[in-house]
Structure 1
Amino acid sequence: MRKKILFVQAWLGREQRFYPFPIGLAAVAARLVGKHDVKGFDPNVVADPMGELARLVAEFKPDIVGLSLRNIDSTNYFDPYLFFPPFAETVRTVRRHAPAATLVAGGSGYSLFPEEIMRRLPEIDLGLYLEGDIRLEQLLCNLDDPAAVPGIYYRRDGVPVFSGASGHDPFCDDWPFPAWDIFDLEPYKRIPYSMGVETKRGCAYRCVYCCYYILNGRRYRLKSPDRVVAEIKELAKRGFKEIHFTDSVFNVPTPHAMAILGRMRDEVPGMRWNAYLSPEGITDEFVELSLAMGLSVFGCSPDTYGDAALAAMGKNMGVADIERAVEVIRRHPPAEFGANFFVNGPTYTYGTLFAILRFGLWAKLRLGRQYSLLRLIKANYIRIEPGTRIEAVAREEGVIGPDTEMLPETLDDFRKTFYINKHLRAFNAVYMPLKDLVRRLHVLLFRRGKSV
């Protein structure tokens, strides 16, 4: 039976410099376009977010509303912000204006706290745990019996119940292109790199703080380079000039990334791009091709420095790999090197902090203008997320306890969800207020909603 389906991105509730296109919703909607009447709405790119959502719901009268929660919070100790309250307002706005509609929640943020979100928001009828590309279509055929579909949270007498694990579907080239056109694309053309393109799902790394392998699996599921470039060509036809590769790490496996860039150079040479990178995949050939394709900053996340510290953080690299990447960048001006670090981590000592600083100074000496020491002041703390290895470490060390609210409702509780190394008390006593002061000055000098 043909239904009216509305896909809604969660409202973020504040002004930001960057609003990503809802690529997850577009991917999930792709199988439904043509079979149902499908619309998409992102409240973050309109002047009156909840007002326009209410008007759209009242006009369209959807049978099904899919709501995507991408981020729970800022994950930034020095830019504390909760995205869950505006998501709750999004859900309640839809429910007020569509009392008979079936509300289905999903997204990476939802999948980290599915049961708790179902408890806090009784307005939600059903939840898609993990990937919904195939699952939502199956659910629509089984709305009277959601328990028959794996990976679904549903209600039994109002209580959230899970239908059972679904696993991860193969990421096939014959899947339909994302349904970009259910959304108004014009706002995203004005936001550089807001349009995401997936080249793969899954992550083979085991960083202690990261939830990507929980959400997308421990093995890479690759799209073919031909399929990736076919999507990019379609986006170019729609007027997009920049894209962001949404992979956890784009340049691993390196041959896959190289093949994509080679085809882009031949078929969509004007398309600019950026991505998260790994030092492992920063080779001379990759840098040369990337520079030719318009990339200038090669940003990656060593997170710490020193072989023992890297191993404790679950990084699949050593000091030699990071230094090799620096030397590769040095050989290819105007390429720039970017490196993100955490100031606290498991097994950190003051020696670890000194090693990070020493690396920054060494990289500056080696790279000159190709590396900015100012990047070191962006070093942050680790947000502890459920199911990660850092959560187990934090509980064992007493950093968090059984009463710590991992889906915080206040900013005070939010700051309790970060990993604070008890052996670095003196450093933290100085760094925390100093960095907070820098952030506040930045907000006063520039605009609210931006972080340092």
Structure 2
Amino acid sequence: MRILYLQQYLGGDELLVMPIGLLYIATAASAHEAKLFDMNAAKNPYQELDEILREYDPHVIALSLRNIDSQQRMDLKYYYLELPKTLQLVKTVKPEVFLVVGGAGFSMFAKTIMQRHREIDFGIYLEGETAFPALLENLQTPHKVSNLYYRKGSELKVTERGPLIDLETLPIPRKDIIPDIKIYETGKGGIGVNTKRGCPCRCSYCNYYLLNGLKVRMRPPVQVVDEIEELVNKYGMKEFMFADGMFSSPFRHAKEICEEMKGREIKVQWDAWCDIRDINEEFIDIVSAAGCRSLIISPDAYSNSALEGLNKKITTRQVRRAIKLLMHRSNLRIGFCFFQASPGETFWGYLQTLFYYINSIISITLRGRGGCGFSWIRIEPDTQIRKTAVRDGTITEETELLPEDIESLQKLFYVKPSLRFIDPLSRMIVSSVSLIKGIIGRKRHKR
């Protein structure tokens, strides 16, 4: 069969990111003919999609809905609103095609999306490396496939959950179906490499552990470095990003990958998200020797009360220590963000966070050493924050977390009720800092 792997359009303003999820799915279904189209890489995405549908004439379309929105209250973009346009175009041009939708964004709202958009024939919930190839063999008998939403007449059905994927059995995701991989080399993490899935943390705002499991499943370090070496030697990449939620954990796994990269003398720069608890002199030495360019940490709060409210299991002292260690390494850039008015935060804690944030802007951002942000939590399904927001009256049990307009989406950012009086000040600060960053960025670009 001819399969068209389609990355959903995000509106044209976002950085290009290599569609690694689709690459894994295409690798798992490599017995079939494959074509990849990333709508975000197209000048006229809908027009070009129309042409590809007519010329390639696919039997099945595998559409990845990775992101729902930008999660930035002050620069909010609602990517989901582009989905209906894509679905309507596909079914208008090729009404007989089997349309399969998956991806992290879809999995968060799978039932709602399937109920709203009848153009979708099948929805793959969570991981698809097993489900998608099985579906291709069972298009007429979808009840045999795990992790699948399907339609039986007017009724929406869902099959039982299958086991999590054993990453040691997965081959390196193919890159040969990417028309031009160099377009993703943007200097800002466009080329992604996964080393693991799963997260043992239960941060109160996050549902990642539900989407990928609490158990950390790791790829063999040698295979990870084989993929990196392929990117460098075969495709000419000079940079990439470890796309894990926390590359540094477990420490032993990250260390083995770095040592393997150093042993092969691979000349490439890379970035990674890391756990604050893993930041020490030994770790920084190891990643620096392997080509690390920047480390992004996720404190999400500064005051101890807010850290406890977010279930971060770290302290203010650990946050300061990690940032200080990274700032002292001139060869590394650093990135992090604080949430405002989160559960557990106090007015005094807010003032502490604000002072530290402004100091970080001066010492890190303005000196070109990285970036720090001040943001709000987007309330998402199946999170502790959602329960907290219902309990304190921010939303109700009936509040739709996938609204049909951006105005309703604006109301889904959490602000602790007792701290609402400082919200205008917070928004003014974020707007002012964004303006200053923009001016500085334009001046640096001119140089």
SS state of the match for residue 230, structure 2?
helix
Deviation string for 1:202-243 (max 9, x for gaps)? Answer: 011111111211110111000111010011111111121111
Letter of the 2:215 counterpart: R
Aligned residue for 1:147? Answer: 143
Given candidates 74, 96, 112, the residue that maps to 1:100 is: 96
Q: Is the 8 A contact 1:45 1:187 kept in 2?
A: no
Q: How does 1:3-82 map to 2 (within 5 A)?
A: 3-16=1-14, 18-33=15-30, 35-82=31-78
Letter of the 2:164 counterpart: H
Letter of the 2:10 counterpart: L
Aligned residue for 1:288? Answer: 285
Q: Is the 8 A contact 2:335 2:370 kept in 1?
A: no
Distance in 2 between residues matched to 1:330 and 1:40, nearest whole Å: 41
Letter of the 1:22 counterpart: P
Aligned residue for 2:377? Answer: 382
Deviation string for 1:406-435 (max 9, x for gaps)? Answer: 112222101111111111122102222453
Change in CA separation of 1:404 and 1:441 when aligned onto 2, cut-off 3 Å = farther
Aligned residue for 2:397? Answer: 402
Letter of the 1:58 counterpart: R
SS state of the match for residue 27, structure 1?
helix
Change in CA separation of 1:402 and 1:314 when aligned onto 2, cut-off 3 Å = same
Deviation string for 1:251-280 (max 9, x for gaps)? Answer: 111121111111112225211111111211
Change in CA separation of 1:155 and 1:441 when aligned onto 2, cut-off 3 Å = farther
Letter of the 1:355 counterpart: Q
**Higher RCO (Cα < 8 Å, 6 or more apart):** 1
SS state of the match for residue 214, structure 2?
coil
Q: Give the TM-score normalised by the residue count of structure 2.
A: 0.91
Q: Is the 8 A contact 2:5 2:61 kept in 1?
A: yes
**Are residues 1:277 and 2:274 paired?**
yes
Letter of the 1:250 counterpart: F
**Are residues 1:247 and 2:250 paired?**
no
Change in CA separation of 1:438 and 1:369 when aligned onto 2, cut-off 3 Å = closer
Distance in 2 between residues matched to 1:314 and 1:415, nearest whole Å: 25
Aligned-pair identity (%) = 32
Unmatched segments (≥5 aa) in structure 1: 448-452
Q: How does 1:330-349 map to 2 (within 5 A)?
A: 332-349=329-346
Q: How does 1:370-449 map to 2 (within 5 A)?
A: 375=371, 378-436=373-431, 439=434
SS state of the match for residue 178, structure 1?
coil
Distance in 2 between residues matched to 1:10 and 1:426, nearest whole Å: 39
Distance in 1 between residues matched to 2:235 and 2:357, nearest whole Å: 41
Given candidates 213, 216, 231, the residue that maps to 2:209 is: 213
Distance in 2 between residues matched to 1:364 and 1:404, nearest whole Å: 36
Change in CA separation of 1:443 and 1:147 when aligned onto 2, cut-off 3 Å = farther
Q: Is the 8 A contact 1:225 1:259 kept in 2?
A: yes
Letter of the 1:253 counterpart: P
Distance in 2 between residues matched to 1:191 and 1:363, nearest whole Å: 25
Aligned residue for 1:450? Answer: none
Change in CA separation of 1:379 and 1:57 when aligned onto 2, cut-off 3 Å = same
Distance in 1 between residues matched to 2:290 and 2:356, nearest whole Å: 29
Distance in 2 between residues matched to 1:268 and 1:91, nearest whole Å: 46
Q: Give the TM-score normalised by the residue count of structure 1.
A: 0.90
Distance in 1 between residues matched to 2:374 and 2:315, nearest whole Å: 19
Distance in 2 between residues matched to 1:445 and 1:98, nearest whole Å: 48
Change in CA separation of 1:94 and 1:427 when aligned onto 2, cut-off 3 Å = same
Unmatched segments (≥5 aa) in structure 2: 443-447
Q: How many residues align?
A: 440
**Deviation of 1:98 (Å):** 1.4
Q: Is the 8 A contact 1:337 1:370 kept in 2?
A: no
**Are residues 1:156 and 2:137 paired?**
no
Q: Is the 8 A contact 1:360 1:373 kept in 2?
A: no
Deviates more, 1:45-54 or 1:102-111: 45-54
Deviation string for 1:91-134 (max 9, x for gaps)? Answer: 22221221111100000000000111112211100000000011
Distance in 2 between residues matched to 1:346 and 1:299, nearest whole Å: 23
